[in-house]
Chain A
Amino acid sequence: MNLIRGFATTIKHVFEEPVTIQFPEEERPVRERFKGRHALKRYDNGLEKCIGCSLCAAACPADAIWVEAAENSDEARYSPGERYARTYEINMIRCIFCGYCEDACPTEAIVLEHEYRLSFNDRVDAVYTKDMLIDPVPPGGQDTPQVTEPGKFTRSIPEMKDPD
């Protein structure tokens, strides 16, 4: 009897639609909070959100992030405030996709996106530089460095809501 029940289950599955998908032609959508490859975000005007504070690197348990900062000026502005990331690198073989960097970021500049197709033939290729990580300039925005009005972007950290 048990034998029949077992085969019945098997036969039932034969007629069901297969769960296998034909990657890479087909892709299964990931969950909203899936943690894939990082992206560096921009404000609507094109300025980079990243201020080069290196807190992501400090939070990183795998020591995968490398940040070097430099100073903004109104003639060549990358981000609001005084500081921006001159170098921003993430070593994707080291990264464990824990998302601590995202939690540590004071400007919500680094976000783990949904891209998970990461493969490399070389260790050096696994190091994603700032050019590779940064989002494209949004429509209506300007690429960095920008020439900006003096005194307009004096603050690195966006205004916080009144703590009530």
Chain B
Amino acid sequence: MTDTVTITIDGQDFEVPKGMNLVDAAKLHGIGIPVFCYHPKLDPVGMCRMCLVELGNVAIDRTTGAPELDEQGNPVIRWFPKLQTACTQTVSQGMVLRTTSDMVVEGRENILEFLLTSHPLDCPVCDKGGECPLQNLTMAYGPGESRFIYDDKIRLAKHVPLGKLIYLDRERCIQCARCTRFCDEIVGDDVLAFHERGRRLQIVTISDPPFDTKFSGNTTDICPVGALTTTDFRFGARPWELTEVSTICPYCPVGCNLNASTRMDREFGGKAMIKRIMPRQNERVNEIWICDKGRFGHHHSRHEERLLAPLMRNKSGELVEVEWPAVYKAIAKQLKAHGDQAGFVGDSTLSNEDLWELRRLAELSGGSPRLGLWPATMSGGDVVAQVGVGSETRLQDLGPGSVILVMASDFEEEAPIWWLQVKQAADRGAKVVVANARPTKLDRYASAVIHYRYDEAVGVLNSFTAPLLSGDGQLGQGNGWGALQSDLQNAEVTHADTANLLASAENLVIFLGSEGLTLEQHAELMQAAANLLIVSGHVGRPNNGLIPVWPGANVQGAWDMGFSAEATADLLANPPALWVIGGADVAGEDIRMATALEQAEFVVVTAQFMTPTAAHADIVLPRQSFAERAGTYTNGLRRVQRFYPAQGPIGDALPDWKIFAHVSAQMGGPRPPVAAGTIFRDIAQRVERYIGMDYTRLAWFEPQFPDVGGDDLYYGGTAYSNYGGLGLQWPAEAEAEQPQFSVRPVRTAAPQTDGLTLVPVWVLFDRGHLFEKSELMHHRMPQPYAAFNPDDAARLGLTDGDRVTLAVEGHELTVTAQVGDDNPAGAVLLPRRLSGDATLSTPAACTVQKIESMQKVEG
């Protein structure tokens, strides 16, 4: 049995993989079979009939079972009497296709003539015009004129809002069902459907609120006509006028590859601005999908509230505009004066180059540098370096035999595209195990769901590891095995079935978040996951290992550059006199940080906006957004990816690395580098994991299959071919030829006390200081709330909608209570970044006080 079969297309023989459908098989060898409804990422349905081909099979003699041969000794081909849809037929040995015969040409002409009977001729105003599969295929295969009577054209509504982000033009729709199938098959959100029949068939949204999915923008990409358009781009430009710039999403650890479509605009002072964000194909990262946060969250890059000049406090304590050289001198003076009394914090939106220059500055300041990262919610950068997923892991390769454990994470809110890929893996037959203290959306695709109390998280992983520790193990002595064995010999095996499932998995990937865990608890959880992976042997190869659900785009890069969440915690415990904060809105997100900054002697902040953190600062430095400069981000799969400048600079803002490098120069450091690439060269020489990388190598790309974008818009919609680079992944230590593993017993957390714990949780559409600037997304951002378990609520006398005061560590927060069965007992779930008020970034004990009436509060 070979894995390929030979088929003949238009007289030429080709080897193609078994089980492939004919459209893909032809495409693999550069032969285009036009399609509308078929999409390489979706199941075929054969609705549009555009892919009709003449198809023949080798005739088999029924008496002998051997192929029939003609007089010349060639196999006899038995042709189907009618044209067949290529997308619904899979290849078989000896199959013969004709894709250019008269019958096929006529078939295509007729289908196009029919599709165009009621399609409006408004290509000049259509956003798809110029990159429209229907337009292109009509030009290539259309009949030229129609026999249908123009007056019989059906007139339908042209401006139907499907939610506030997507508009539907019913006339343009050719009923290919790509959008409804995307929502059903890929996302699993039942939000779009067909209504009526025949020529009246139309797309409707059936959810409340309408089109309620986090991935709605993708439907506009795969739509083969201009029926679906986004509010963001509508009439923004014609496609041929746009310049595509490769960039990376600055929001979550997935690190989606994006294309920023830019064009000059009078309303932006005649400068190039981002008109829309499109996905850029990277089959190793985001395939061709992006979430709505990445797609519509680019407005902060040119928001009118952007800081334009450096600000410094004058003698009367007001922030006034100053020149760059003056602030460099002032910062250098302060750093020299404080010596080793300085603390440095880098945000997850800072690029590797920014963080590196911040570290160089910290090293110049004297003492051992204290390098904190933000958000400081997750520990375990060293664990990831050891047992992170193997290089060349592709989530889309996970299928039957693979097990995916998602733990302590509200996955769809924290890493939407990973959620999407795990959901699809589950559909393909991978087993998904979801462990969390509360139900999450992934539960519905899970083979096993484990609900634990937040303090039991480590115990759950230990109970998976314990049964595997019988015997000496393959790791030998001296690596903690014995200690782990004796520690876990009495461990309670609570989830035996799931433990078996994990242990017997061919591939095991663990996604680990930090919901409900303090930093110390999370460090233990990461180690517990490492123990499980090492003991069960699921490390050091592709599709196996740990993927941390980091709380930001470049948290992995920050660890690589020497920053850590532990250092942030240490900075909070022993606050420095001088803070240098890169990009992060620490005071806006965490009340502890706000207090620490208030007490600090001197605070230097780089910021895009006048955030609460910037308001605390003595020097505020305007930083450039991701759209204005070059750099690299390292995603949760440890893939280092380049982004390029899409927009011109705004005001006097500078990239963070330049600011830090100039201050370093004032401190007696080297001359500032001229470009981000120079810094990356420096990183590649000094950071072991990045050795051998450079900007040229990061920009490598190869043809990817399915081949979307480019000239083949019809095939996959308008997602873009990747010419900006596929990035490079640094290998985990487990991938070394003779890896040194070390396991160790982990401490389980002390059981929760009777009181309530405030548990910060993530929501995707939050009011973080960058995403908040996308006003068109405000309707998707929930009102601030705190979620209670019904039992806790009853005890406290709370009902849904009550106003409550949460007292935590001497601070008070006022929010609206939300009571729901899904919320775990003993915890108050408080979403981060939903209001302008700072909350907490890690869990803490809290007390709850109901506010009896609004009047009382005011009085």
Contacts and interface: CB of A to CB of B under 8 A. Distances in A.
Partners in one complex: yes
Interface of A: 51-55, 57-58, 68-71, 81-83, 86-87, 106-107, 154-157, 160, 162-163
Interface in B136-171: 145-146, 149-151, 158-159
Interface string B223-267: 000000000001111101100000000000000000000000111
B124 interface: yes
B124 A58 contact: no
A124 to B, nearest CB: 12
20 contacts: A53-B124, A53-B125, A53-B238, A54-B241, A57-B241, A68-B265, A68-B267, A69-B236, A69-B237, A82-B125, A82-B158, A82-B159, A82-B235, A83-B125, A154-B159, A156-B122, A156-B124, A156-B125, A157-B122, A157-B124
A4 to B, nearest CB: 67
B121 A83 contact: no
A87 B240 CA distance: 18
A71 B266 contact: no
B238 A162 contact: no
B320 to A, nearest CB: 35
Contact of B125 (A58, A81, A86, A87): A81
- The A interface, classified by DSSP as helix, strand, loop or mixed, is loop
A54 B122 contact: no
Contacts of A58: 238, 240-241
A71 B235 contact: yes
Interface in B99-152: 120-122, 124-125, 129, 145-146, 149-151
A155 B122 contact: yes
A162 B120 CA distance: 14
Contacts of A154: 158-159
Contacts of A69: 235-237
Contacts of B120: 155
A81 B238 contact: no
Interface of B: 120-122, 124-125, 129, 145-146, 149-151, 158-159, 234-238, 240-241, 265-267
B151 A83 contact: no
A87 B121 contact: no
Contact of B124 (A51, A86, A160, A163): A51
Nearest to B157: A154
A102 B326 CA distance: 56
B146 to A, nearest CB: 8
Contact of A160 (B125, B145, B150): B150
A52 B234 CA distance: 12
Nearest to A82: B125
Most chain A beta carbons < 10 A, residue from B158, B234, B235, B238: B235
B234 A71 contact: yes
Contacts, number: 57
A51 B125 contact: yes
Given A58-B240, A162-B150, A163-B145, A70 B235 contact: yes
B241 A163 contact: no
Contacts of A163: 145-146, 150
A108 to B, nearest CB: 12
Nearest to A55: B124
A57 B149 CA distance: 33
Contacts of A156: 122, 124-125
B238 A54 contact: yes
A80 to B, nearest CB: 10
A157 B150 CA distance: 15
* 4 closest A-B pairs by CB: A53-B124, A83-B125, A69-B235, A156-B125
Nearest to A69: B235
Given A58-B240, A68-B266, A82-B158, A160 B235 contact: no
A160 B146 CA distance: 14
B122 A81 contact: yes
Contacts of A55: 124
Given A53-B124, A53-B125, 5 more contacts: A51-B125, A53-B129, A54-B241, A160-B121, A163-B145
B629 to A, nearest CB: 26
Given A54-B238, A58-B238, A162-B150, A87 B266 contact: yes
B265 to A, nearest CB: 6
A154 B122 CA distance: 11
B167 to A, nearest CB: 9
B121 A157 contact: yes
A60 B150 CA distance: 31
A120 B395 CA distance: 62
Contacts of B266: 68, 86-87
A109 to B, nearest CB: 11
Contacts of A53: 124-125, 129, 238
A103 B124 CA distance: 14
A155 B125 CA distance: 10
A155 B149 CA distance: 19
Nearest to B231: A71
A84 to B, nearest CB: 9
B288 to A, nearest CB: 27
Nearest to A58: B240
A55 B265 CA distance: 17
Given A68-B266, A82-B158, A162 B125 contact: no
Contacts of A83: 125, 235
Contacts of A87: 266
Contacts of A70: 235
A44 to B, nearest CB: 21
Nearest to B241: A54
Contacts of A86: 266
Contacts of B121: 157, 160
A58 B145 CA distance: 25
Nearest to A54: B238
Nearest to A107: B124
Contacts of B146: 163
A52 B266 CA distance: 14
A156 B121 CA distance: 10
A19 B567 CA distance: 91
A156 B150 CA distance: 17
Contacts of A68: 237, 265-267
A154 to B, nearest CB: 6
